Amino acid sequence: MDSAAVSLIPLWVILGYLGLLIGLGLVTRALFRGTAADYFVAGRSIGPFLLLMSVFGTTMTAFALVGSTGKAYDYGIGVYGLMASSSGLIHSAVFFLVGMKLWAIGKRHGYVTQIQYFRARFDSNGLGYLLFPILVGLVIPYLLIGLVGTGSVVRGATVGMFPETFAGVPNPRTGAMMFVGAVPPWLSGLVVSGVVLFYIFGGGVRSAAWANTFQTIVFMVTGVIAFTLISKTLGGLAAATQKVLENAPEHLAREGRISHLQFLSYGLVPLSVGMFPHLFQHWLTARSAKTFRLSVVFHPIFIMIVWVPCILIGIWAKGIGIEAPGGNANAVLARTVAELLHEPVLSGVLTAGILAAIMSSLDSQFVCLGAMFTHDIVLHRYGTDKISDRQQVTLGRAFIVAIVIITYLLTFLPTPNVFDLAVWCFSGFASLFPLVFASLYWRRVTLAGAVASILVTVAAWGAFFYDGFLAAILAGEKPAGEYLVFGMMPVAVIFAASAVTLVLVSLATSPPPRAVVDKFFMKPAA
Amino acid sequence: MRRFVWFLVIALAFLHYDFWYWDDRTLVFGFMPIGLAYHAGFSLAAGLVWLLAVRFAWPANLEAWADEVDDAAAADAGEGR
């Protein structure tokens, strides 16, 4: 590629956007009250609009933009039904039935983290120590999705910019060099992590909520712009889809691409939001129960606004014969934008928009990890009287940095498909959903039932994850497509095992003390 | 009305499995595959049903319960409000 022909403007736009976020970090730093309660739950003062935007921004990550486009490129339009429409119904149901109740319990008892709730609900310190590594271990792949997505998008947008500095990577299929002169993932991951760390260190979850709101607006607007311009470049909506009808008609339906059992079992995956520790923390920031209303109603509609264009872009890319570099579906969105839109400023803005979606999840996850470590391990072990608010915040930050370093190092393993890694991660959280649901609605659930259910989930998820994903990654290969168990997604089997174990072991053991359980249930109306 | 709202939520859960469009490649408005258009409509319907839920099935007593002080539990958690 001729380096003289490649404009650096997209990179400057991206850097300008990152600079804006640093500015936002400086503003929220000035507003930060310096207390741990403000850092970890924003003083429980977040209103409806900020909650909607921050919760939506948090749930939409590289998975929603980069992953959905790549998956639609591979599997067609059925991807929307697999994850997006079901999420619209189930996420809101979880906000309504689980999130609001947890918010009320959190406010009533002064909780900051999920583990504080579970410890108190089951009257067990040990349960917290059991859950902590599991929840952190499941958040790490979620962080990894963000960093892998960042690497793919920035590399796709900067091809040819620095041919003297970055030699590119060999195409695993042809051996020819690809991404010559592009900013490599190790560098973009480092810069984006640094920016997110900067603005959340300034003001904790309040910074994350503000930044999420800003970034959610950015990625929704840029997504609509990208969709409009790409369809225009392809000759309009009808002409774009016509290309798919001619060249990849199987992508317009589900027959032969997605099986019925696979589709049905995917429906359990969105239950993961009930156990996301970072979402739990966002729920706790709500000013009141009414604050949830906007999120419950608009979340499905916002999902549609983001996902429909991504799915269409994915199938259009297939229809016009865009090649996924090295078979890497993560790169389809960036490649499509680069090939179809030749306006450098626009290309930069769209890339920044995708990064906005990614960073709006990373920030919440970072803050949440710090909160968990500080409250569930350090303060729980040593008590609040020995550690000042400042020290709590510092300890939280140190733990965040440690986890970010681990995640960053994991990006050097063979690049997984963002969508598939996300589904594995969500499946783990979804399989823990019976635990949180039973804790809120079933007085008879016992500590033994909870522990047994968690252990069964970890064992089953670990076995399937190793067999279907990790073994291939450790061998330096890419995992093969969808991993199914009896024709279903693994989550169906793990979820069933988790729920059955929870119920059977609870019924087989003594009921929990009434005095403990009563604290978490409203008295029935007289 | 509360029961009707929850009936609608359950009905939507069943309607999500649109096996009748599984191999249908009809284009709606000339560009939207019908399987995608159906699920986009499903998302809008979900928003509408949740609007009904917050209007007619709202747990009105939750707020008051959350505001009741439970000092012992707050001390257990080691966190003030």
pLDDT digits (tens, 9 = 90+) for A6-35: 888 989 999 999 998 888 878 877 776 666
- Picking from A290, A301, A315, the nearest residue to B44 by CB comes out as A301
The answer to whether the Cβ–Cβ distance between A253 and B16 falls below 8 Å is no
Cβ–Cβ below 8 Å for B42 and A88: yes
Q: Please, what sign has the CA dihedral across residues A44, A48, A54, A56? A: positive
DSSP A414: P
Which phi-psi region, left, alpha or beta, contains residue A42 (left: φ > 0; alpha: ψ -120 to 50)?
A: left
Q: Are A127 and A436 in contact (CB under 8 A)?
A: no
- Work out the minimum CA distance from A52 to partner chain B, whole angstroms: 13
Interface test with B, best of A75, A77, A377 (most B CBs within 10 A): A77
Q: Residue A380: exposed, middle, or buried by beta-carbon count in 10 A (0-12, 13-18, 19+)?
A: buried
Closest C-alpha to A102, from A516, A498, A437? A437
Q: How confident is the model at residue A314 (pLDDT cuts 50, 70, 90)?
A: very high
Contacts A522 to B, Cβ<8 Å: 61-62, 65
Size of interface A-B (CB pairs under 8 A): 170
Q: Which of the pair, A480 or A305, is modelled with greater confidence?
A: A305
CA dist B43 and A328 (Å) reads 29
Question: b/e per residue, A402-440, with b = 16+ CB within 10 A?
Answer: ebbeebbebbeeebbbbbbbbbbbbbbbbbbbbbbbbbb
- Spell out which residues of chain A touch residue B79, defining contact as CB-CB under 8 Å: 36-37, 110-112, 116, 375, 384
pLDDT over threshold 90, residue A431: yes
Q: What is the mean pLDDT of chain A?
A: 88
Q: Are residues A37 and B81, on separate chains, in Cβ contact within 8 Å?
A: yes
**How confident is the model at residue B81, as a pLDDT?**
32
The mean-pLDDT minimum among A72-86, A363-377, B42-56 falls in A363-377
Q: Between chains, do A304 and B32 touch, taking CB under 8 Å as contact?
A: no
pLDDT at position A282 over 90:
no
pLDDT at A288 over 90: no
Q: Which domains does chain A have, with CATH numbers?
A: 3-29+48-412 (1.20.1730.10)
pTM score of the predicted model: 0.89
Residue B75 has what pLDDT? 52
Would you call B30 and A241 a contact, using CB atoms and an 8 Å cutoff? yes
Q: Hey, which residues 252-311 in chain A have their CB within 8 Å of chain B?
A: 252-255, 260, 263-264, 267, 288-290, 293, 296-301, 303-304, 308, 311
Residue A343, pLDDT > 70, answer yes
Query: What pLDDT, on the 0 to 100 scale, is given for residue A1?
Result: 43
B30 to chain A, minimum CA–CA distance in Å?
Answer: 5
pLDDT at A43: 64
- Residue A54: how many CB atoms within 10 A of its CB? 29
Find tokens 């803005």 and name the residue. A349
The answer, yes or no, to whether residue A266 has pLDDT greater than 70, is yes
Mean pLDDT (whole number) for A176-199: 89
Q: Is the ipTM of this complex over 0.90?
A: no
What's phi and psi for B33, nearest 5 deg? Answer: -55, 140
Which among A80, A155, A193, A189 is positioned nearest to A337, based on CA atoms? A155
Which residues make beta-bridge pairs with A485?
A488
Give A 410-469 residues with CB within 8 A of chain B. Answer: none
By C-alpha distance, which of A402, A91, A500, A122 is closest to A275?
A91
Q: What is the spatial distance between Cα A349 and Cα A14, in angstroms, rounded to a whole number?
A: 7
| Tokens matching residue A39 | 């850092």
Residue from B21, B43, B48 to probe the interface with A (highest A Cβ count within 10 Å) = B43
Query: Considering chain B, what percentage of its residues have pLDDT values greater than 90?
Result: 68
The mean-pLDDT minimum among A55-64, A83-92, A286-295, B37-46 falls in A55-64
The answer to whether the Cβ–Cβ distance between B70 and A108 falls below 8 Å is yes
DSSP letter, residue B68: S
- Give me the mean pLDDT over the A162-174 stretch: 83
Nearest-angstrom CA–CA distance, A141 and A424: 9
Which among A89, A114, A250 is the top mutation candidate for probing chain B, defined by the most B β-carbons within 10 Å of its own β-carbon? A89
| Span of A77-81, A276-280, A494-498 with lowest mean pLDDT | A276-280
- The three-state secondary structure class of A482 is coil
- Asked if A84 reaches chain B (Cβ–Cβ under 8 Å), the answer is yes
Name the residue ranges covered by the structural domains of chain B: 2-77
**pLDDT band, very low/low/confident/very high, at A67 (cuts 50, 70, 90):** confident
- Distance in Å from the first CA to the final CA of chain A: 77
pLDDT at A184: 92
